[in-house]
Amino acid sequence: MEKIKMQTPLVEMDGDEMTRILWQMIKDELLLPFIELNTEYYDLGLEHRNETNDQVTVDSANATKKYGVAVKCATITPNAARMTEYNLKEMWKSPNGTIRAMLDGTVFRAPIVVRGIEPNVKTWKKPITIARHAYGDVYKATEMKIPAAGKCELVYTAEDGTETRELIHNFAGAGVIQGQHNLCASIESFARSCFNYALDTKQDLWFATKDTISKKYDHTFKDIFQEIFDAEYQDKFKTAGITYFYTLIDDAVARVMKSEGGYIWACKNYDGDVMSDMISSAFGSLAMMTSVLVSPDGYYEYEAAHGTVQRHYYKHLKGEETSTNSVATIFAWTGALRKRGELDGNAELMKFADDLEAACVKTIEDGNMTKDLALITTIEHPTVLSSEGFIKAIRETLGREYQ
Ligand code: NAP
Ligand code: MG
C-alpha cells in the first residue's frame, strides 16, 4: 500500500515518562507504516525544556499558531521533587498552562465509550463532554505568603492614575493570599466556543459557577454567557432542538450524578480540571478520555487528558513489564490527523484517523486490553496485554484494513 501523504505539517509536542515511551511506539507501529508523517517536532520533555529555559514550549505554541493543528504528549509539571530529580534550573511552569495562555480557548474532554466498559454511575448512558475554560483564574494567579500581621488590599490603578481599593483582609497573624484574574474577551470566546460546539454536536449545554458567593467574579461569567446566548444563539438552539441551562456548580454536580449524560458541561478552568478527572474515571479510565484545546482563532491542540503515568514509568525503568493504556494518546493523534485532513481537504488522512480509532475500539471490544480496563470490564476472560502488546494488537486489527 502506498503511504498517505500530508500537505501541511502537524506540530508535534513530545513529552515525558511513560507517555513518551508510548508516543514512540504509537508512531512506529500505528502511524509511520501507513502515513508519510509530516510533523514539525518540538521536544517538550522536561530535560529539553530545562536546557532551553522553556523556550521550546513557547516555540511550539507559536508553531501551533502558524500551522493550526498540534498534537501533544503528556508532560511533567515540575514540583519540588522534580527539581531534584531533573536538576532543574528553575521550577518551570506547566507547559499546558503556557500553551493555553498563548492560544486562549476552551478544552473539550469527552470519554471514549466502548462496549464492555460500563460507567460507574449507572444512570449514565451517553458520554458527558466537559468544556474547560483554558485561561486564567488560579492557573494565572499571583500568590503571597503573609508572614505576620498586616493589611492586604486589592488595588486597581486606572490608566489616568486613579486608584480603586478593596480590603482583602486585615491579618492578625500569618496567612496566605492569592490574586486571580480573567478577561471579558476570554470569557466571551469561551462562551462562543461552547455554544458553537453544542450546535456542532447537537448536545445541550450546561454551565455552572459559584455566582451566589462570588458576586462579581463568577457572576461575570454567568452574565456574559447569558448575554451572548440571548443575543446570538437562542434561535439557533431552538432550531437545533437543544437547550442552554445555567445553574450553581454544586447543583450541577448533583444533577450530573442523576443524569443520563449526552450533554456538554461547561466549567471554569479549575472546575474543568477537577471534574474532567472525575468524569473520565467514572466512565472507566483516565486513559479513555480525549482532550482538545479549541482556540477562538481556530487553532487546535490535541492531547490525552491524563498525565505522564509516572508510576508505570519507574516500573519500565526497572525493566518490569507495564500495561499502560495508550488509547487517549492514540486519539490525540487521530484527532489531530483528522483535523489536519479536514483543513487540507485530505480525505484519506481523515479516513485513516477514523479507521485507527475504530481499530482501538474493536481491539478492546474483542477482549484485548490493558490492565486498567481488564480490572473493570464486563467482558468475560479479557486478555491483559502489555503496553507494547496492546499497541501491536491494535496494529493487527488495523492491518486487516490496510494491507
Ligand atoms: P497520571 O499520569 O494521570 O497517572 C495517575 C494514575 O492514573 C496512574 O498512576 C495510573 O494508575 C492511572 N493512569 C493514568 N493514565 C493511565 C494510562 N494511560 N494507563 C493506565 N493507567 C493510567 O497522573 P500523576 O501520576 O498524578 O502525574 C504524573 C505526571 O504527569 C506529573 O508530573 C504531572 O505533572 C503530569 N501531568 C501532566 C498532564 C498533562 O500533560 N496533560 C496532566 C496531568 C498530570 P495506577 O498507578 O493505579 O496504575
Ligand atoms: Mg488535572
At residue 297, the pLDDT reads: 79
Strand partners, 291: 109, 303
DSSP, collapsed to helix, strand or coil, labels residue 167 as strand
Spacing, Cα 274 to ligand 2 middle (Å): 6
Distances (CA, A) of 109 to 77, 207, 233, 267, 303: 20, 15, 22, 11, 10
- The Cα–Cα gap between 72 and 333 comes to 8
- The Cα–Cα gap between 25 and 391 comes to 7
In sequence order, the 6+-apart residues with CB closer than 8 A to the CB of 115 are 365
Is 199:237 a contact under the CB 8 Å cutoff?
A: yes
Candidates 87, 96, 17; CA nearest to 51 is: 87
Q: What sign results for the dihedral spanned by CA atoms 157, 158, 164, 168?
A: negative
Distances (CA, A) of 112 to 131, 184, 340, 355: 15, 33, 21, 15
What is the residue-level pLDDT of the chain in tens, covering all 403 positions? 789 999 999 999 999 999 999 999 999 999 999 999 999 999 999 999 999 999 999 999 999 999 999 999 999 999 999 999 999 999 999 999 899 889 887 889 999 989 999 899 999 999 999 999 988 999 999 999 999 999 999 999 999 999 999 999 999 999 999 999 999 999 999 999 999 889 878 899 999 999 999 999 999 999 999 999 999 999 999 999 999 999 999 999 999 999 999 999 999 999 998 998 899 889 877 789 899 998 877 899 999 989 999 999 999 999 999 999 999 999 999 999 999 999 999 999 999 999 999 999 999 999 999 999 999 999 999 999 999 999 999 999 998 877 6
- The Cα–Cα gap between 25 and 19 comes to 10
Supply the residue whose CA is at minimum distance from atom 4 of ligand 1: 309
- The Cα–Cα gap between 27 and 395 comes to 11
Pocket test for ligand 1, best of 13, 22, 309, 394 (most atoms within 8 A of CB): 309
Pocket test for ligand 1, best of 306, 321, 369 (most atoms within 8 A of CB): 306
At residue 403, the pLDDT reads: 61
Spacing, Cα 153 to ligand 2 middle (Å): 31
At residue 330, the pLDDT reads: 98
Q: Helix H segments across 27-75?
A: 46-51, 55-67
- The Cα–Cα gap between 135 and 69 comes to 19
The pairing of strands 129-133 and 106-111 is antiparallel
Candidates 316, 252, 261; CA nearest to 284 is: 261
